Structure 1
Amino acid sequence: MFSLSLFREYIANYIKTKLTYRADFWVEVASDLLFSAMNLIFIFVVFQHTPSLGDWSEAEVVFVYGYFMIPYGLFSTFSNLWNFSERYIVKGEMDRILTRPAGSLTQVMLENVDPPSLIGSLVGLGIMATAWWRLGLSFDWYDPFVLIVLALGSTLVYLGIYTAIAALSFYSDAPTGITPLIYNIQNYGRYPIQIYNKTIRFLLTWLLPFAFVGVYPASFFLEEHRDPLMAWLTPAVGLVVGAIGLGVWTHGVKRYRGAGS
């Protein structure tokens, strides 16, 4: 309940700020939509030169991309950790965080909440719906509930990986520069994993499991590529990766000695 009340306060402050600087809000929304549109256009351009990727059709790849956008939007909305090292370690704001009663990770997440990113999830849902119709997929009453469970599992994968990466800042005074690399690897998860070689498939499934933010959970709904076992592993993988990220964060906070004077 305490964290929920904090969330309401942070959201209220966010709204007050954006009402003052409304143009910034809409510029952020427009940039997110443009980024998503460019990725979608890239898929269409690829299929102008080939009828399929492996045995995946254009509509199926678009479907996977649509799913990919849903957990990514949720993660970016509630767990925006991109600038953690610069803001909280280099500038010393972590000292302020640790003087307050709420959990350190909770505070950092709430301070960086980014509601416009949620629009990306809605766009992804629309892309999925359009591809669903193009593919003529059946729709069962439980599909929305399955989608919610899988999307939450995928979001936990993002949260665990990027929390662990952010926590690396507790172990080093200098920025690691690893976040851009992981972000680039993450983007492989928006395409069918079957088109990659065995090494990349192993990496994206078991080491940096970004296949569980895209193709594996999305395959639950695709009749031609359905893989229920890997799809239902998504929540379990999310819990494991999330727990690892939280463990790395907790250990890192204990090692943190402050910014100094």
Structure 2
Amino acid sequence: MEYKVDFLFGLVGFFLIQASGIAFINLVFKNIPSLNGWSYYDILFIYGFSQLPRGLDHLIMDNIWIFARDMVIQGTFDRYLVRPINPFFQVISERFQPDAFGEIIVGLIILAISIPKINITISIFNIIIFIILIIAGSVIYTSIKLFFASFAFWIKNSINLVFMVYNISTFAKYPISIYPKAISVLVQFIVPFAFTAFIPAEYILGKVNFLYGVLGTVLCAAIAWILAYGLWTKGIKSYESSGS
């Protein structure tokens, strides 16, 4: 926040981006009473929930984008390898993205509006599960981003690949049952963004059981992280620095 105007524009920018998504939902429900069995407040809840793990990942792990674009091709990754600290920790520690508070605040506001309108039991157990699901969803976001960013070790610049895959996360803001089967399979089992928002929200709304909604999300986060960090460490072993 040292650069106050830049911080303010970034924060307002994310508010406006999320506002456009909410405006789209309102536009749809002005013309139809429900969407494939989902009510207006159900979808609003899913949309609000989706902002929290995404915002948490954006807040802490944003420097992965810089790695994908610059660090290998410019050779600046070298400095992380000569220090006695984990290279991944160094990469994520160099950048903290306060713009993400825009996503998180909007998400919390939407949840505060939608929760009183739907049948959700608020208890200590459910709050703990809610926090676990947000953390697991954030791990999935980070893992997917890290996995595809790690291809930079071989192709030097993987920013376009990361950007292309990351955009698939847009599907997770809405019920995946409204999409064709191919997209549903894609976001559940190939690039599992559905476990960052829709499936956890579906559990909270009482539409799937604990095994799939909670344990499935945590298991997906664990597998995604193992695969992503495994590729990252393999990439470090293949790293050749940049030429002159």
Shift of 1:136: 4.3
Shift of 1:210: 0.6
- Cα distance in 2 for partners of 1:33, 1:193 equals 24
Q: Secondary structure at the match of 1:93?
A: coil
Give the superposed CA RMSD: 1.6
| Runs (5+) with no aligned partner, structure 2 | none
Are residues 1:241 and 2:224 paired? yes
Shift of 1:47: 1.5
- Cα distance in 2 for partners of 1:159, 1:96 equals 22
Are residues 1:170 and 2:153 paired? yes
- Cα distance in 2 for partners of 1:205, 1:175 equals 23
Tell me the equivalent position of 2:80: 97
Are residues 1:206 and 2:189 paired? yes
- Give yes or no for contact 1:216–1:227 (8 Å, CA) kept in 2: no
Shift of 1:219: 1.4
Shift of 1:176: 6.1
| Runs (5+) with no aligned partner, structure 1 | 1-17
Q: Secondary structure at the match of 1:260?
A: coil
- Cα distance in 1 for partners of 2:218, 2:98 equals 24
- Give yes or no for contact 2:202–2:213 (8 Å, CA) kept in 1: yes
- Give yes or no for contact 2:42–2:114 (8 Å, CA) kept in 1: yes
Tell me the equivalent position of 1:35: 17
Give a deviation string over 1:146-203, Cα, whole Å, max 9, x none: 1110111111111111001110000113546212221221110111111122222111
Are residues 1:230 and 2:222 paired? no
Are residues 1:76 and 2:26 paired? no
Q: Secondary structure at the match of 2:99?
A: helix
- Give yes or no for contact 1:219–1:228 (8 Å, CA) kept in 2: no
- Cα distance in 1 for partners of 2:232, 2:122 equals 40
TM-score (norm 2): 0.93
- State the AA in 1 paired with 2:229: L
- Cα distance in 2 for partners of 1:97, 1:26 equals 32
Shift of 1:115: 2.9
Give a deviation string over 1:104-153, Cα, whole Å, max 9, x none: 11111111221331342232122112111122433223221111101111
TM-score (norm 1): 0.87
Tell me the equivalent position of 2:94: 111
